[in-house]
Amino acid sequence: MVQVVAKTGNEAMAEAMRQINPDVVAAYPITPATEIVMIFSQFVADGLVNTQYVPVESEHSAMSATIAASAAGARAMTGTSSQGLALMYELLPIASALRLPIVMPEVNRALSGPINIHNDHSDTFAARDFGWIQIFSENSQEAYDNMLQAVRIAEHPKVKLPTMVTTDGFIISHCLEKIEVFEDDVVKNYVGKFPAYTNLLDLKNPVTLGALDLQNYYFEHRRQTAEAMKSAKEIILEVGKDFGKKFGREYGFFEEYKMDDAEMAIVCLGSIAGSAKSVVDEYREKGVKVGLMKIRVYRPFPAEEIASVLERMKAVAVVEKADGLAAKGGPLFDEIRSALYDKKKKPSVIDFIVGLGGREVTHKHLNEIFDELKDLAATGIVKELIQYKGVR
């Protein structure tokens, strides 16, 4: 039933797309998109999928065509990264407003400028308020698993929202890893038939989509989308649990690593969690009660759930690959600190902005962060609230 193969993050996501076998993929399969949609176009050329592939002239058009296909009643996907995602920004909130269950792999990479192609989370974080579910992956296996779950989440009748599944550029997207893939039929049954909620081609029941929505209705529709995002939380957990039952790997809003008796915690997302876990192990050996929380679902933001775990800590260090450029820290820090504000007993929270533009986050950097976290837990004194780590 399970095959163990070597795949890069991009190949793993493209493989998931092949098995999902969407009706339509509209994509711009060259830079700044990563290889995902290019690999997928080969599947189309080789006749391995039944997908109608629409090569478009930009990501703006890719998302437009994907929205149109989804509205017409097709299971529609696309994929992108970095500047490509930025070029889609204008369309992303339209996909969620129309409640279209599009699933999109997105490879986290820096935004220009200066021009850069390497990993950080600026592109995806900037899209956080567009009504898209955002799921982060630590490695290729999670990327594959998340892609399959994303279909079930996005298309659930209580959700009907577009969903992006992310990996970290180059660190995951181009790194060869051993992963387990399921048989085609297993995936086919798992994702099921596409429940076309809107069908523009049904001439007997014509509908209007995307009508003008001014002062009198826009607000109500935004409120609806917010509610849909909130209801998605329950479904994300349900799908994650069910995935665990079926395939042995259970998923939630976040992963807790050695958090049970922890007094202090590192919070991060994506590939950095791998290195951070090994540093947690080192400090555990020295008797330091430190744990790690790896955020998997960034939107809808599981604020209460995160806070109810972190409130037990004395100190928390958020480690993130995005900067608010003079906001109150990075976006993750902002929201985690705010989530803890209502708790009676709350830990000191500090922010480390790391790895912008693919700058390597080394063991030494993480050691320094852990040492500072340890000091903070012992003294309660915040030396510097928001720090850049690894910048010259």
Closer to other proteins by Cβ: residue 185 or 217: 217
Query: Please, what is the Cα angle at 60 between 58 and 64, to 5 degrees?
Result: 115
201 contacts other proteins (rule: CB under 8 A):
no
209 contacts other proteins (rule: CB under 8 A):
yes
227 contacts other proteins (rule: CB under 8 A):
yes
Q: How far is the CB of 269 from other proteins (least distance, A)?
A: 29
208 contacts other proteins (rule: CB under 8 A):
yes
Closer to other proteins by Cβ: residue 100 or 332: 100
Q: How far is the CB of 220 from other proteins (least distance, A)?
A: 4
Structure tokens at 290: 């430190």
Closer to other proteins by Cβ: residue 12 or 94: 94
Closer to other proteins by Cβ: residue 16 or 91: 91
Work out whether the CA dihedral 358, 363, 365, 369 comes out positive or negative.
positive
Closer to other proteins by Cβ: residue 17 or 98: 98
- DSSP state string for 126-152: HTTTSS-EEEE-SSHHHHHHHHHHHHH
All residues at 6 or more sequence positions from 1 whose CB lies less than 8 Å from its CB, including other chains: 182, 183, 186
Closer to other proteins by Cβ: residue 206 or 248: 206
251, 244 Cβ separation under 8 angstroms: yes
> Hey, what's the torsion of the CAs at 332, 333, 339, 342, to 10 degrees?
-170
Q: Kindly indicate which of the ranges 185-193, 218-226, 262-270, 368-376 contains the residues binding other proteins, using the contact rule CB under 8 A.
A: 218-226
213 contacts other proteins (rule: CB under 8 A):
yes
Q: How far is the CB of 100 from other proteins (least distance, A)?
A: 8
Q: How far is the CB of 206 from other proteins (least distance, A)?
A: 3
Q: How far is the CB of 222 from other proteins (least distance, A)?
A: 8
Report how far residue 274's alpha carbon sits from residue 267's, in angstroms, rounded to the nearest whole number: 12
Report how far residue 115's alpha carbon sits from residue 102's, in angstroms, rounded to the nearest whole number: 29
Q: Which helix (H) or strand (E) holds 182?
A: strand 177-182
3 contacts other proteins (rule: CB under 8 A):
no
Map residue 170 onto helix, strand or coil. coil
Question: Judged by CB under 8 A, which of 109, 160, 277, 296 binds other proteins?
Answer: 160
Report how far residue 235's alpha carbon sits from residue 222's, in angstroms, rounded to the nearest whole number: 20
Exposed, middle or buried by CB within 10 Å (0-12, 13-18, 19+), for 34? buried
- Edge-to-edge order in the sheet of strand 254-257: 254-257, 290-295, 264-268, 315-320, 348-354, 386-389
**AA identity, residue 298:** Y
316, 385 Cβ separation under 8 angstroms: no
Report how far residue 356's alpha carbon sits from residue 335's, in angstroms, rounded to the nearest whole number: 20
Closer to other proteins by Cβ: residue 231 or 275: 231
224 contacts other proteins (rule: CB under 8 A):
yes
All residues at 6 or more sequence positions from 64 whose CB lies less than 8 Å from its CB, including other chains: 26, 91
206 contacts other proteins (rule: CB under 8 A):
yes
According to DSSP, residue 111 is labeled P
230 contacts other proteins (rule: CB under 8 A):
no
- Hey, which residues between 84 and 123 contact other proteins (CB under 8 A)? 97-100
Would you give the end-to-end CA distance of the chain in angstroms? 50
Kindly report whether the peptide bond that precedes residue 240 is cis, defined as omega within 30 degrees of 0: no
Q: How far is the CB of 130 from other proteins (least distance, A)?
A: 15
Total residues interacting with other proteins, rule: CB under 8 A: 22
Report how far residue 200's alpha carbon sits from residue 242's, in angstroms, rounded to the nearest whole number: 32
Closer to other proteins by Cβ: residue 196 or 373: 196
158 contacts other proteins (rule: CB under 8 A):
no
Q: How far is the CB of 198 from other proteins (least distance, A)?
A: 6
Q: Kindly indicate which of the ranges 118-126, 206-214, 303-311, 376-384 contains the residues binding other proteins, using the contact rule CB under 8 A.
A: 206-214
Closer to other proteins by Cβ: residue 90 or 281: 90
- Hey, which residues between 34 and 53 contact other proteins (CB under 8 A)? none
Q: How far is the CB of 214 from other proteins (least distance, A)?
A: 11
Closer to other proteins by Cβ: residue 94 or 354: 94
207 contacts other proteins (rule: CB under 8 A):
yes
Binding site for other proteins (CB under 8 A): 97-100, 160, 197-198, 206-211, 213, 216-217, 219-221, 223-224, 227
